[in-house]
Amino acid sequence: MVIKFKIPGIQSLISKTISDLESELARRGKPIAADAGELRQYPGLRVEVGNAACDSLERMRDESKKATLKLVDMECSYLTVDFFRKLPKTLRRVATHRIQFLMGTSQENWGNIGLPVSSVSHAAQNRFRGISSGRMGRMTSGKERFEDWGPSHLKTFIDWKNENHRRSILASLVQGVYIVERDRQEKREGLEALAPRWWVSFNFKLLHNLIDDVDGSIFGAIYEFEPPPSISNYTLDGSPRCVIAFRGNLLKFPSITRDMELDIVFLQHGLHRTSRFQIAMQAISERVAAVGDPNVWLVGHSLGSAIAMLAGKKLARTGTFLSCFLFNPPYDSLPIEIIPGEKVKRAFRKAKRTVKVGQALATKKKKNQSDDPFEALSAWFPCLYVNPGDIFCCGYIGYFEDQENMQSILDILRCSGMGRLATRISTGLLMSAKGRDTEPQTEPLHLIPSANLITNSAPSLDLFDAHGIHQWWSDDLQLQYKVYEYK
């Protein structure tokens, strides 16, 4: 009753899928039918999966509530001069003393209020000064300043063949897109603009911004790499000529309205129909035509990763393979990783694999290998940077693990060729089974055959920390690398 009340139809869908699978396997007399019988070992599978899904949705709602409250707290943290003027005289004197101290250039003053210099890190000092140096009556967040928040470990030497250096620079270029939009919103121009430091520090020049034609917000930027005159501190091998970067959701008004609208369109697999993607695709095509596809890199974060991935997939189908670096790419399907309980996860994965194999058997004769769109994408290896604590992108971890396990099962059963078909059986084929044709552009974005998966297992404070772009330019990450190749 809990399942029927909270998620109507999920119980009947699971029952029908398993029933149809067992009937089909029994009719064909395939040896895998014995494996299907193992489903009966879980008499409460439907109830457990349904309740787990309900719990996951409730937890996601709670996380969203906490995130919203945190945003409110962040907004309330901006202190203005008027605020201090309204303080009682005694408190105002204390506050003034501390602000003057924080804005001072001499580190000796840190001891005046009982904080020894040794106890305050250099980064913390810079952060306090950044917070205290507001413009136009509004305090500037320390996270917008490159000096306070940028990758300090890249100030002396840069090696483009070093993955840590390359990842940190590309993440900084994405941050530059976020900050250039914030500069526009706050009307910061000229010397007051904070964004240029995020790309000039690595010898990039901003060619032009990509502007959304609906709300006028800046969602992307085209950078051109200009090697320094003296390259003693650079190793240029492996460097790009052009980088096109896309930001994700900016949780500030007024751009948040348009960003959230595109999030919904993304979940409906309609991102390719939006004007933002059309503008991005046109800019990418023009740069590829101007400098050649080996010299163009795509990079994005969150929603920006979805735009970059969709563009990369579209070009890959035509034989143009661009280097693509995707930070926290959104996974447009309910990830198994967020389901609580390892037993439920294993049972769900086992049922899912069985259903996929059964569907592959049922549709094997209807599909030719030449019709497999994964064949055209198999040589494209985008770099996916994911965090297990990020519910928006962690689904890619289980997705590629499931495909690897599926291929192992099919190899054992000697079902040649079915691995490729089973890999594509997801939301797209379920839609097709209901009578809707699935175009390559409208299929779920996460359906990619090959990838370089980079996982950051370092502990995260919360969802904001796990989903943030800032984590990827840190030099103390706990990274695991794995290449998934479609064969």
Lowest pLDDT segment from 37-51, 96-110, 274-288:
96-110
Do residues 294 and 310 both lie within one domain? yes
Kindly give the pairing relationship between strand 242-246 and strand 296-301. Answer: parallel
C-alpha distances out from residue 167 to 111, 326, 327, 353, 473, Å = 38, 10, 10, 34, 7
Residue pair 299/173 in contact (Cβ under 8 Å)? The answer is: yes
Residue 292, C-beta contacts closer than 8 angstroms, at least 6 positions apart: none
Residue 134 falls inside a structural domain: no
pLDDT (tens digit per residue) in 112-162: 434 444 444 444 444 444 433 333 333 345 679 999 889 988 877 788 989
4: confidence class by pLDDT, cuts 50, 70, 90: very low
Do residues 309 and 375 both lie within one domain? no
Tell whether the model's pLDDT for residue 333 goes beyond 80.
no
Instruction: Spell out where 48-177 has E strands.
Output: 158-159
Average pLDDT over residues 420-434: 44
pLDDT (tens digit per residue) in 183-228: 999 999 999 999 999 999 999 999 999 999 999 999 999 999 988 7
Do residues 321 and 359 both lie within one domain? no
Domain stop point among 308, 327, 346: 327
Domain coverage including residue 229:
140-327
What average pLDDT does the chain have?
A: 74
Residue 92 falls inside a structural domain: no
Do residues 152 and 204 both lie within one domain? yes
Do residues 275 and 373 both lie within one domain? no
Question: Does residue 426 sit in helix, strand or coil?
Answer: coil
Do residues 172 and 316 both lie within one domain? yes
Residue 103 falls inside a structural domain: no
The sign of the dihedral angle between the CA atoms of 322, 324, 330, 335 is positive
Domain stop point among 269, 297, 327: 327
Do residues 256 and 342 both lie within one domain? no
Tell whether the model's pLDDT for residue 324 goes beyond 80.
yes
Distance CA 309, CA 329 (A): 8
Do residues 219 and 298 both lie within one domain? yes
pLDDT top residue among 315 and 231: 315
pLDDT of residue 170: 97
pLDDT of residue 205: 96
Nearest of 420, 426, 449 to residue 438 by alpha carbon:
426
Q: Is the pTM of this model over 0.85?
A: no
Tell whether the model's pLDDT for residue 91 goes beyond 60.
no
Lowest pLDDT segment from 55-59, 85-89, 110-114, 148-152:
110-114
In the numeric block, the tokens 């099919």 are attached to: 410
Do residues 175 and 277 both lie within one domain? yes
Residue 110 falls inside a structural domain: no
Domain stop point among 292, 308, 327: 327
Do residues 318 and 338 both lie within one domain? no
Do residues 272 and 163 both lie within one domain? yes
Lowest pLDDT segment from 112-121, 163-172, 462-471:
112-121
Residue 29, C-beta contacts closer than 8 angstroms, at least 6 positions apart: none
Q: How many domains does the chain have?
A: 2
Question: Does residue 12 sit in helix, strand or coil?
Answer: helix
